[in-house]
Amino acid sequence: MTARRHRQPCKRRFSCNDAGTAAIEFALVMPVLLIALFLTIEFARVMYSKVEFEYAVFGATRFSSVGKIADTAKVQQALSDNLVLLDPTHLSPIGYTVVQNADKTKTATLTASYRVDSLLPLTNLASITLTRRVSYLINQ
């Protein structure tokens, strides 16, 4: 005699039908995964912009500390030229001051800001402003 499996009769209409459960689980999980992916991309963009902006400020300070005739316009241009993949139109006008010290040396202070716009319409942040202020001695 063969053993037959006895199935319990389904008490509800959909309790035994599992067709489409993968599609429902996918529909529930996919928005969360997409939001996590887009937030990761946005965070990476902001961090890349920060590193690139700080490198551009470093290049501008190097230009102004070595150059004999560095003024605000030339330092601004050096800062714009050092932005490799960033948009130079998002730079705000820089602050560049040179002060004569008591020991006959000169100290320069460079203040620069860069605006990073958000690509995601989901966030309430319209833009993030990166600011860097550097004081350094000028070679003569």
Q: In the numeric block, which tokens belong to residue 13?
A: 């209409």
Does the residue 31 lie in any domain? yes
Give the pLDDT score at 125.
Answer: 66
pLDDT in tens, 42-64: 899 999 999 999 999 999 999 99
Sheet of strand 127-138, all strands in order from the earlier edge strand to the far edge:
95-100, 106-117, 127-138
Mean pLDDT for all residues in the chain = 86
Contacts of 26 (CB under 8 A, 6+ apart): none
Question: 110 burial class (0-12, 13-18, 19+ CB within 10 angstroms)?
Answer: buried
Does the residue 128 lie in any domain? yes
Does the residue 87 lie in any domain? yes
Question: Token pair 């932005």 is at which residue?
Answer: 83
Q: What is the pTM of this model?
A: 0.77
Does the residue 1 lie in any domain? no
Q: What domain count does the chain have?
A: 1
pLDDT in tens, 20-40: 888 899 999 999 999 899 889
Does the residue 121 lie in any domain? yes
- Asked if the model's pLDDT at residue 1 lies above 80, the reply is no
Domain membership of residue 96 as a residue range? 21-138
Give the pLDDT score at 45.
Answer: 92
pLDDT higher at 58 or 19 = 58
Does the residue 74 lie in any domain? yes
Q: What's the CA angle centered on 70, arms 136 and 112, to 5 degrees?
A: 60
Q: Is the distance from CB of 48 to CB of 121 less than 8 angstroms? A: no
Residue type (1 letter), 124: N
Does the residue 8 lie in any domain? no
pLDDT in tens, 82-115: 998 999 999 999 999 999 999 988 899 999 999 9
Does the residue 10 lie in any domain? no
Q: In the numeric block, which tokens belong to residue 123?
A: 């966030």
